[in-house]
């Protein structure tokens, strides 16, 4: 009778239930935010569930850090922060899929272009940042004797220059012409 082939025994990383205070706070924060599966979070700190239960859950510093972070995370004034954080995490996690679908020839061109726009915006490429709000107005006025040179602009519109004096006419965005008698 043939023996069944032996399966390789999984190798686990060395574990250290004696985490530093900083590591305990990081662990508590990740578990409070509940962005990833708790088992994955615990494993990312090189802990087994048994070690977590025995060494971390019984640690007074960890308990206080967890409670404090939980109160802060669940506070009403943290709603926008939670939404932004979870959205950013989800977006980052989904970027490889978005990128792969964008370059897939089977995807709709409109969807691919929208994805490219999103990626360009996230990377800071393709869109200029404005120092002013669209529609913001400013005026420059220069008086020379009886002549007045006035320049008004609304950001995002065609500028209007006027020369106001006797015997002149004005037209938006056109050079000023003097009337002749």
The confidence score (pLDDT) of residue 10 equals 42
What is residue 152's predicted lDDT score, i.e. its pLDDT? 74
Those residues of the chain that have pLDDT short of 70 are 1-17, 126-135, 138, 155-181
The answer for residues whose C-beta is within 8 angstroms of residue 173's C-beta and 6 or more apart is 158, 159, 160, 161
pLDDT in tens, 91-137: 888 889 888 988 888 988 898 888 888 888 887 776 666 665 666 77
| Residues 61, 24 contacting (CB under 8 angstroms) | yes
Report pLDDT for 12: 40
> What are residue 132's DSSP bridge partners?
none
**Strand extents, DSSP E, the chain:** 137-144, 147-154, 160-164, 168-169, 177-178
**pLDDT of 133:** 62
pLDDT of residue 14: 39
pLDDT at 66: 95
Domain segments of the chain as ranges: 21-74, 77-123, 137-178
């Amino acid at each position: 009778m043939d023996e069944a082939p032996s399966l390789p025994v999984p190798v686990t990383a060395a574990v250290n239930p004696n985490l530093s205070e900083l590591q305990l706070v990081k662990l508590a924060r990740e578990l409070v935010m509940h962005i990833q599966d708790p088992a994955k979070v615990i494993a990312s700190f090189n802990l087994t569930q048994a070690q977590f239960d025995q060494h971390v859950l019984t640690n007074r510093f960890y308990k206080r850090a967890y409670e404090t972070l939980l109160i802060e995370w669940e506070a009403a004034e943290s709603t926008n922060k939670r939404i932004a954080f979870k959205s950013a995490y989800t977006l980052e996690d989904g970027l490889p899929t978005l990128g792969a679908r964008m370059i897939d020839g089977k995807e709709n061109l409109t969807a691919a272009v929208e994805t490219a726009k999103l990626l360009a915006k996230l990377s800071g490429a393709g869109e200029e940042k404005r120092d002013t709000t669209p529609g913001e107005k400013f005026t420059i006025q220069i008086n020379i004797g009886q002549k007045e040179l006035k320049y008004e602009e609304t950001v995002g519109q065609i500028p209007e220059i006027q020369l106001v004096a006797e015997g002149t006419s004005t037209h938006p965005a056109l050079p000023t012409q003097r009337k002749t008698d």
